[in-house]
Structure 1
Amino acid sequence: MATDLNGSVVAFLAAPEGTEQVELTEPWAAVEKAGGRPQLISTSSGSIQGFNHLDKGDTFTVHATVEDVGAADFIGLVLPGGVANPDFLRTVPRAVAFTKEFFDTGKPVAAICHAPWTLVEAGAVDGRRLTSFPSLRTDITNAGGEWSDEEVVVCSAGPNKLVTSRKPDDLPAFGDALVSAFAD
């Protein structure tokens, strides 16, 4: 299993508010530990506000906006969860298009918790097996995906690898799986 990202740049897409902080910071640390360079992408410049469930957490500096970058600038995409984060992102056409570019170009994508809402909006779950926070099961199956209640699911059916996990408890397995997918 390859785990060296050799300085490659990985996009983390997050809304200005509502990202579950640990679902941003732990995968970020996994990418850094593997030698990758994470970059925070958002819908506006400045910083984003992380959350610890419903309580405000830390703020994080945005490296670029979805208007300024494309999938060609990165080896893969991480979509952190939190309820508000993907709910907001799926209403922003450029954020949805940015996400879809990774599927169109065959680059790996990793999404945790509620983040598959953005994948549903991007039309990227049809024919794919994935997991999420359980409340998204109906949304995923209605969009043509096969939902599975597992710690981590890596799906290679389609143009790219799709790594998904359910919740913060799954973060260690999620981090290992996304690094492996990005290193391949």
Structure 2
Amino acid sequence: MSGSLSGLRVAFLVAGEGIEQVELTRPWQAVERAGGQPELVSVSSGSVQAFHHLDKADTFPVDQIVGDADVEDYAGLVLPGGVANPDALRRVPEAVRFVADFFAAQKPVAAICHAPWTLIEAGVVRGRRLTSYPSLATDLRNAGAEWTDEQVVVDSGLVTSRDPDDLDAFCAKAVEEIAEGRHRSQSRSAPSTDVG
């Protein structure tokens, strides 16, 4: 895994429940190993409920409420999957705006599995090449993305992967892109931040 995140804060945005636990914990550990400081950002305070497929797993404490979070405080954004998690996030205007603001700021974003649903809502996938859990392929294409069935896809600071089997490649590329810093072409499809 290349790239040092020493002293850099990385936001992990999740809803209150429905997060696929391994898609949160593995990238989190990768950020820590690279010297970064991961922070759990969610729609409300307290803790969030992770799942292993459909079974409840662990809970995790929230560090920051998304409505109070500032994109300028973070070097990058990680969006874990799980079916319910991104579906809930895309209905929260502050969460959608937070995602869109990372693109407007040209900062790296990494999304795995079902997480690109939130990217669609943020209006940032048109003209971008990415992957996701296969059931999102039609949704992404309809939103203007070029969907491809690959382990990990990197497009100007946007890192995407299909599912937990791709986590090794996803984590390595997420750390690498965040370590590289801003990507000038990251915001090419981003809307204004007046989302929601």
TM-score bin, normalised by smaller chain: over 0.9
Report the secondary structure of 1:67's partner residue. Answer: helix
Residues 90, 117 of structure 2: 8 Å contact kept: yes
Could you list the runs of 4 or more consecutive aligned residues of structure 1 that deviate by over 4 angstroms after TM superposition? none
Cα distance between partner residues in 2 of 1:65 and 1:16: 11
Residue matched to 2:170: 174
Residue matched to 2:48: 48
Cα distance between partner residues in 2 of 1:2 and 1:117: 28
The superposition leaves residues 45-103 of structure 1 with CA deviations (integer Å, 9 ceiling, x where unpaired) of 00000000000000000000011112111000000000000000000001000000000
Q: Percent identity?
A: 65
Residues 70, 101 of structure 1: 8 Å contact kept: no
Report the secondary structure of 1:58's partner residue. Answer: strand
- Letter aligned with residue 174 of structure 2: L
Residue matched to 2:29: 29
Residues 14, 80 of structure 2: 8 Å contact kept: yes
The superposition leaves residues 109-156 of structure 1 with CA deviations (integer Å, 9 ceiling, x where unpaired) of 000000000000000100000000000001100000000000000001
Residue matched to 2:129: 129
Cα distance between partner residues in 1 of 2:74 and 2:2: 18
In the TM superposition, residue 2 of structure 1 has moved relative to its aligned partner by 4.6
Residue matched to 2:89: 89
Residues 45, 62 of structure 1: 8 Å contact kept: yes
Cα distance between partner residues in 1 of 2:114 and 2:56: 18
Alignment of 1:44-83 (within 5 A): 44-83=44-83
**Residues 1:108 and 2:108 aligned together:** yes
Cα distance between partner residues in 2 of 1:124 and 1:81: 17
- Letter aligned with residue 58 of structure 2: D
Residues 50, 57 of structure 2: 8 Å contact kept: yes
Unaligned 5+ segments in structure 1 are none
Residue matched to 2:190: none
Could you tell me the TM-score, scaled by structure 2's length? 0.91
- Letter aligned with residue 164 of structure 1: T
